[in-house]
Structure formats: C-alpha cells, structure tokens
C-alpha cells in the first residue's frame, strides 16, 4: 500500500505533464498518422534518426503511453492519439516486411498494441490487424525466433497470442499456442537445480540468463500467466523450475541476482576459458533494474507467490525489497529510464507495498523527484547515453518514465511492464501433452532412455507411475527402485543407470554455447602450439583430461546390455556448444585418458605407465620403441581433438 498526499500527487502530475508536452512538441504528423523518430547509433558516438515501430524504443511503446493516459484521464483525445500512432505504425516497412518478431522488440509487440487499442476503443479493425499480422508472420514467430525470453523471444509471443486467443477463441490460435508450448517443453534443459532455456548461441552469457527481460524470470512469468489462464499445472510447474534454476545465481553478498551477460572485455580476460564464475563476477552483482537484477526478478516472484501461496516466493520478494531499498537510498547512477534505470524498480515497489500493506510513498517519490531534477538539468533521463534527450521510447526514454508516473497515479492501469492475462471466463481447453505429469515424463526420460526402457520391460508403464517433483528427485527414485530389484545382476539395469547418470551429470554442468565456443578457441590455439612440439618437449610437459570431458570405463555387461561393440573400452561424455555428445574409444586411448582422468602427469610418466601395462616384462627394444611411438602419436591425436591439454596448475 502506498498513499500520496495532495502535494505529492501534484508533483507527479507536474512531471507527467512535462513528459506529455515534450512528446507533443517532438512528434511528426502526416496524412497517415503520428510518429516519432528514435536515435539510432551508427557508432558509439555517432547516431542518426529512424522511425521504429517496436515497443522498446519505437512508436508502439509511445502508443501504450497514450493508452495509459486515456485510462487515467478518460480523455478521448488521448485514445485518438494512440490510434493515430498505431495507424502510422501499421503502414511502416518494418511492419509490412518485418525482420524482428519478439514482444518488446518486434512484430509481436505491434500485435499486442493492436489488441490493447481494441480493448479500449472496441474497433474490430484492430483485432483484424492483430490476427492478420500473426497469420503473415506465424512461421517466424513460432519456429524461427531463436530466443525463448520475454523481451524478444518466443515465450513473450506465447503471452501475446494467448491474449489474442482470449478475444477471438479460434482453433488456429489454439494450435499456435500448442506449438509454442511444445517448443518450450522440447527446449527445456536440466541444470544442477531446475530447468533452463536459451543455452544456445543466441545469448552471450556465462549461462542461461537470470532476469526479467532476457532470462528465467521473464520466461517463468509467461508460463505462470498462460498456465493460470488455461488452468494448466504443467506450465506452472515449468515456471517454478525456471525460478529454481535462477536461484543458483542469487548472490547473497550483494543481495542481488547476477547479470550473467558477457561482453568483449570479460571474454578477453586471460582465464576466461576456465569459465569460472569468480573470474567474471566482480561486475555481475551490481545491475539492478527492470531488465536485469532484483527489480524485475521480484515481479516474477510476486506473481509466483500470488498464484501458489508458497512462502519461499514471499521470502524472495523480501530479498528484492531489501536490495531495491538499499539502491534507492543512494541513487548514485544517472539512469532513470524504465528498462535499465531506477523508475524500472517502481512497479515492484508499488505492488509489494500493496501486498505488505506498507506505505513506501516516500521511497517512491524520492525516485520521481530525483528523475525530475536530473531532467530539468540535462533534458535526459539517462546521461550515460548521449542521445537520450532525443529518445521518446517506452523502455529506453521519456515515455517510459511517463508510463511509470501513470502507474503510480492509477493502480488499476494495465501494464506492459508487468503483462497480466485476463481471467478466462470462456472455458479451459486442454493443451495436449502439457499437464504436469506428461511434461515431467517427457523432459526427464530424455536423459534416461535406456534405463526407463529396461524398467518398463520389468514393470509396464513404470515411468507413468513414478512421481518425482524434479530431476534430482527422479534420479534418487530411480536409484532406490533399481537397488531393490530382485536378480539385479541378471538385467544390467544398474550399470545402464550409472552410465546415463554420469551423462546427465555432464548435462547439469553444461553452461551453454558460449562457454564451449570459448573453450574450443583456447584448446585449438593450444593444440596448434603443441603441434610443433618435439617428442622430448611432449615428454616433459604435464597433461590433464580437459574439463569439458568426462571419462567412463565400459564393462562387458554394460556393453552387452546397451548393444555396444566389445572393442569399445570406454566412453567419453563431451560438452560441446550444442550439448553433450558421447564418444566411444579403444584400448590405447582408454589407457591414456584413464590415467589422466585420475591425475595430471607428464608425457614421460604417462608413456612409462602404459609401457608397463603392455610390456610388463621389458620385452625387446624394438617392441618398446614401436609402442612408444604409437603412444606419442595417440597423444598428439587426443591433443588435436581437444580431449587432453596442458596442466595449467603447473
């Protein structure tokens, strides 16, 4: 709860009027409608102006500001202004031939604004525009959008399409929703805790991101909203798994979630290839905004608490409140924009105030006043960006600050910053294969294909009966079940389970595309240097099994049960850019890698141990020499393939 005095309300209205006047003074109008031009950076310092259509910093976002003005004032001129903006947007080249398809950054955002305009003026043409835009861009929205995130990925599109379905109730829209949900399930990956998305080349990050705009919280928020709309426990389950993943990156020292993005500077650090979080962490715990950090993450936790009633989410909200309060007491940064600045923290503060029945009016007003002071001096809400004084965008500029002021004055205002689906009063169609049990079975069984197949042979539909809340519990239940089987030795299930569990462990540790791209660059560079090393030099160097490789010896029963060639001596579980692969190796490679799996050693030590294995009785010099050359040749091959490398601790 927060309550402003009359004078405080006047201060908010005064700054809102300033934003509105600035927008009116800078707009352009033609025979089609109204528009603004946004700064576009050609270099770090040089920029030009372009007409953009997205919500982030384009005209669709400014239209939402005017819709918010109408909700507050009831003035039909504000709603007409929004319509004039949208009419112009719909004729732009970027809408007729779009290149970006996400929610805040692309064509899905235009669809969203059309829906919102229809909800207020009830003109059916805007629903038709929304439906046509979706139809024209369906393939790109559903299948060709690489990212999963809320801001620019397909989860954001899922929320908007569900909103469109709420109004139109067509089978085609429900089919698209099915397709997007299926993709979300298919692309979920296990981690040490919970599930994650966006581990591919779409993100330059340490791991799948935390946060509301690009990370786990935003995806979770969509899944909770859509799950609640359709009364689907499976989607809510996936949302909670995303939040569990995100908690791995809560930094208790700073009280914040880590910003896992990696730029050129961090990636060029000497030890970057080690992918040790401590190498990158010094700046990762400082960002707190709507997009990244506690401020946005708190919005997802608020909804999770409201939806599930679980106290753990309320406790996490309290952590967010503590962090935001601490940051707002200092306000040492000069960024008050919605996406990356201090006003982006206010949606959480105001909603948490209502939940806790506490009055945070003073804290909220301190942000409004400081933003106003800076704007009076600099004509900019973000002085870190030279062109911000010309930025009228919703997330990046002036209309976004105005949008937050509107929310403070109108608690009932619908907000794109915290998008909420309406209540479903038209029935709850089933989204096939997406109930909680089916989702868990589909995701979990991916990692234990052979184990579950063998157990199903002994006990039909075993997996259907197995109840496990998360992946770690599934493994514990499988282990427990297998240990109690009669005639365990006969089936080889224990061996298969151990094999698949070791591979699953490698999946849990997988940090995504960029991690292994960077490691591969280092390994290839090291292999290039070692390719010219003499035999004497190789013998003197210390080697290790590279940390993206796990070594697993194979016994006869496992090979027989899994149908593997008897000549295979070991398996390697290798983390690569796209995931985890399995490589089977023969005797000589197995001996080399087995020794290095146990400990680092020099080339000479390795050769001596293998010679002792093969020629225990010190046979003829010729045999020893030939074998020694074979070992050295195999070592060079393993270096080139990236399986072994230099011991950096020497």
- The radius of gyration of the chain from alpha carbons, rounded to an integer in Å, stands at 29
The DSSP element (H or E) to which 291 belongs, if any, is none
533, two tokens: 């090393």
Sheet holding 601-602, edge to edge: 601-602, 542-545, 644-646
- As a whole number of angstroms, the distance between CA 574 and CA 590 comes to 15
438, two tokens: 């089916």
Are 415 and 225 in contact, with CB atoms under 8 Å apart?
A: no
Q: CB-side exposure of 341: number of CA atoms within 13 Å?
A: 28
In 382-505 the beta strands, taken as DSSP E runs, fall at none
**Exposed / middle / buried, residue 247 (Cβ in 10 Å: 0-12, 13-18, 19+):** middle
- As a whole number of angstroms, the distance between CA 49 and CA 43 comes to 13
283, two tokens: 């700046």
- As a whole number of angstroms, the distance between CA 265 and CA 317 comes to 33
In this structure, what is the dihedral angle of CA atoms 170, 172, 176, 179, given to the nearest 10 degrees?
120
Provide DSSP, 135-177. HHHHHIIIII----STTTSHHHHHHHHHHHHHHH--HHHHHHH
Place of tokens 């010219």: 532
Instruction: Give, in order, the Cα–Cα distances in Å from 211 to each of 216, 221, 297, 328, 338.
Output: 6, 11, 5, 19, 15
Give the residues across from 646 on adjacent strands.
543
Q: 282, 297, 286, 378: which is closest to 337 by C-alpha?
A: 378
Query: Residue 114 annotated as binding?
Result: no
Q: 266, 286, 60: which is closest to 160 by C-alpha?
A: 60
Q: 327, 332, 333, 324: which is closest to 299 by C-alpha?
A: 324
Residue-wise burial string across 40-77, b where 16 or more C-beta atoms lie within 10 A, e elsewhere: eeeeeeebeeebbbbbbbbbbbbbbbbbbbbbbeeeee
Angle made by CA atoms 454, 482, 485, in degrees to the nearest 5: 90
Q: 566, 582, 573, 562: which is closest to 454 by C-alpha?
A: 562
Q: Which residues are annotated as a binding site?
A: 339
Q: Which residues are annotated as a binding site for Zn(2+)?
A: 339
């Amino acid at each position: 709860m927060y309550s402003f005095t009359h004078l405080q309300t006047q201060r908010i209205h005064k700054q809102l009027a300033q934003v509105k006047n600035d927008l009116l003074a800078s707009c352009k109008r033609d025979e089609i409608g109204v528009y603004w031009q946004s700064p576009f950076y050609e270099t770090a310092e040089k920029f030009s102006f372009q007409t953009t259509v997205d919500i982030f910093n384009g005209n669709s976002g400014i239209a939402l500001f005017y819709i918010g003005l109408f909700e507050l004032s009831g003035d039909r001129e504000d709603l007409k202004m929004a319509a004039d903006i949208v009419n112009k947007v719909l004729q732009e080249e970027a809408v007729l031939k779009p290149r970006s398809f996400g929610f805040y950054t692309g064509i899905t955002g235009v669809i969203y604004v059309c829906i919102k305009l229809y909800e207020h003026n009830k003109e059916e043409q805007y629903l038709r525009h929304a439906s046509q835009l979706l139809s024209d861009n369906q393939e790109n929205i559903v299948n060709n959008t690489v990212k999963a995130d809320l801001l620019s990925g397909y989860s954001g599109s899922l929320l908007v399409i569900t909103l469109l379905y709420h109004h139109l109730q067509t089978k085609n829209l429900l089919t698209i929703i099915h397709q997007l949900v299926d993709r979300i399930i298919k692309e979920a990956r296990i981690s040490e805790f919970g599930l994650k998305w966006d581990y591919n080349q779409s993100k330059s990050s340490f791991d799948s991101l935390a946060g509301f705009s690009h990370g786990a919280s935003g995806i979770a928020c969509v899944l909770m909203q859509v799950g609640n709309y359709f009364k689907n426990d499976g989607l809510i389950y996936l949302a909670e798994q995303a939040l569990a993943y995100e908690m791995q990156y809560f930094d208790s020292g700073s009280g914040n979630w880590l910003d896992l993005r990696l730029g050129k500077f961090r990636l060029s650090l000497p030890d970057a290839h080690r992918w040790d979080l401590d190498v990158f962490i010094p700046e990762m715990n400082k960002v707190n905004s709507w997009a990244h950090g506690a401020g946005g993450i708190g919005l997802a936790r608020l909804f999770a608490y409201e939806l599930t009633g679980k106290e753990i989410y309320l406790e996490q909200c309290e952590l967010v409140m503590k962090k935001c309060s601490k940051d707002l007491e200092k306000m040492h940064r000069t960024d008050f924009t919605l996406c990356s600045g201090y006003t982006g923290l206010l949606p959480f503060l105001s909603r948490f105030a209502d939940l806790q029945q506490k009055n945070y009016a003073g804290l909220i007003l301190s942000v409004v006043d400081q933003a106003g002071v800076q704007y009076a001096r600099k004509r900019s809400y973000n002085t870190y960006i030279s062109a911000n004084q010309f930025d009228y965008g919703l997330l990046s500029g002036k209309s976004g600050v105005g949008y937050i002021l509107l929310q403070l004055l109108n608690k009932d205002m619908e907000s794109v910053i915290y998008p909420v689906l309406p209540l479903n009063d038209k029935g709850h169609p089933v989204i096939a294969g997406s109930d909680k049990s089916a989702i868990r079975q589909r995701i979990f069984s991916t990692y234990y294909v052979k184990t579950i197949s063998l157990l199903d042979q002994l006990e039909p539909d075993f997996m259907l009966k197995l109840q496990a809340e998360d992946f770690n519990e599934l493994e514990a239940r499988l282990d427990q079940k297998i240990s109690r089987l009669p005639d365990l030795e006969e089936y080889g299930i224990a061996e298969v389970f151990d094999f698949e569990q070791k591979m699953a462990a490698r999946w849990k540790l997988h940090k995504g595309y960029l991690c292994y791209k960077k490691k591969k660059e280092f390994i290839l560079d090291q292999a290039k240097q070692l390719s010219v090393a003499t035999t004497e030099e190789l013998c003197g160097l210390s080697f290790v099994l590279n940390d993206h490789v796990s070594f697993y010896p194979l016994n006869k029963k496992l090979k027989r049960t899994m149908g593997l060639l008897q000549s295979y001596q070991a398996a390697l579980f290798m983390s690569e850019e796209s995931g985890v692969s399995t490589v089977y190796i023969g005797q000589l490679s197995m001996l080399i890698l087995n020794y290095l799996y146990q400990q680092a050693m020099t080339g000479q030590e390795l050769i001596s141990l293998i010679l002792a294995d093969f020629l225990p009785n010190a046979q003829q010099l010729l045999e020893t020499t030939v074998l020694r050359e074979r070992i050295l040749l195999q070592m060079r091959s393993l270096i080139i393939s990236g399986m072994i490398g230099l011991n950096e601790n020497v």
